[in-house]
């Protein structure tokens, strides 16, 4: 059974919501990334979203773009990411989802990429620029390797296309909180609660809200609506301003965990 499924099943049984945190692999360097994700896992993170550095991250806002640029300056390769995940897996069973873009995966080889994900301990895959209509090659490979392919779901009312995305996704549904790129947002789409209710009439998959959660109150609001909260830019902003990144990661996830749990 995929680690994502196990974790969400356990959370559901305990009446808890998922805390999902994004960091870029190789920012500021690989050893520090490993220390950060271990700290996140040890202090209440339910899933780690590990960003694959890419030169044209069109879905990412300025904070994650800068994080990606720092990682690219370190010339991070897929092989180094596999080694990073394998090192993490020696100590932690926390699910890991890779988030990246299609071109580097195609260059590497789609089948080879998914098999290496499975081999090193990756549980899911988000490809930010892969539309549902072009996922027919990747979906069967991911199912065969038990690596969950997670599509981004726009914050819009259910229609025939979004229903197909819901049924094609595995692991959890990533509901984008607003149109545009990642980063700080003052308000959620007003219809998110209604969208989540309509999704739940179609599937038992958990729904996690991401893009733009940048305060404790927003995290609480998202946790009340959905099954999980995804945070990226907010965490990266705090990490880049810190001289003690591991301790910053620890304090960040503890605060977020308390908020999501209703504290």
Distance of CA 180 to the CA centre of its chain: 17
Angstrom distance (rounded) from CA 99 to CA 88: 17
Give per-residue burial for 159-188: e unless 16+ CB within 10 Å, then b. Answer: eeebeebbeebbbbbbbbbbeebbbebeeb
> Any catalytic annotation for residue 35?
no
Angstrom distance (rounded) from CA 145 to CA 239: 33
Angstrom distance (rounded) from CA 217 to CA 188: 11
> 5, 46, 60, 221: which is the annotated catalytic residue?
60
Burial of 2 (0-12, 13-18, 19+ CB in 10 A): middle
> 5, 49, 123, 221: which is the annotated catalytic residue?
49
The number of C-alpha atoms within 13 Å of 17 and in the hemisphere containing its C-beta is 24
> Any catalytic annotation for residue 144?
no
Which residues are catalytically annotated?
Answer: 49, 60
């Amino acid at each position: 059974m995929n680690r994502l499924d196990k974790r969400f099943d356990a959370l559901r049984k305990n009446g808890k919501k998922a805390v999902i945190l994004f960091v870029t692999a190789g920012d500021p360097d690989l050893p520090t990334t490993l220390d950060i994700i271990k700290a996140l896992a040890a202090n209440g993170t339910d899933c780690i979203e590990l960003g694959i550095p890419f030169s044209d991250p069109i879905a990412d806002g300025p904070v994650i773009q800068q994080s990606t640029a720092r990682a690219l300056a370190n010339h991070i390769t897929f092989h180094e990411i596999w080694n990073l995940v394998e090192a993490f897996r020696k100590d932690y069973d926390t699910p890991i989802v890779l988030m990246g873009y299609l071109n580097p995966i195609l260059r590497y080889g789609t089948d080879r990429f998914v098999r290496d994900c499975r081999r090193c301990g990756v549980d899911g895959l988000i490809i930010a620029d892969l539309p549902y209509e072009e996922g027919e090659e990747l979906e069967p490979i991911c199912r065969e390797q038990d690596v969950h392919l997670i599509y981004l779901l726009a914050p819009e009312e259910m229609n025939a296309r979004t229903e197909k995305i819901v049924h094609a996704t595995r692991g959890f549904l990533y509901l984008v909180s607003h149109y545009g790129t990642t980063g700080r947002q003052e308000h959620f789409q007003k219809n998110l609660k209604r969208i989540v209710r309509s999704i739940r009439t179609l599937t038992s998959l958990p729904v996690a809200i991401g893009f733009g959660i940048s305060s404790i109150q927003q995290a609480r609001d998202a946790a009340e609506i959905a099954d999980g909260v995804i945070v990226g830019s907010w965490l990266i902003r705090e990490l880049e301003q810190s001289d003690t990144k591991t301790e910053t990661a620890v304090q960040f996830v503890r605060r977020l965990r308390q908020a999501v749990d209703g504290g």
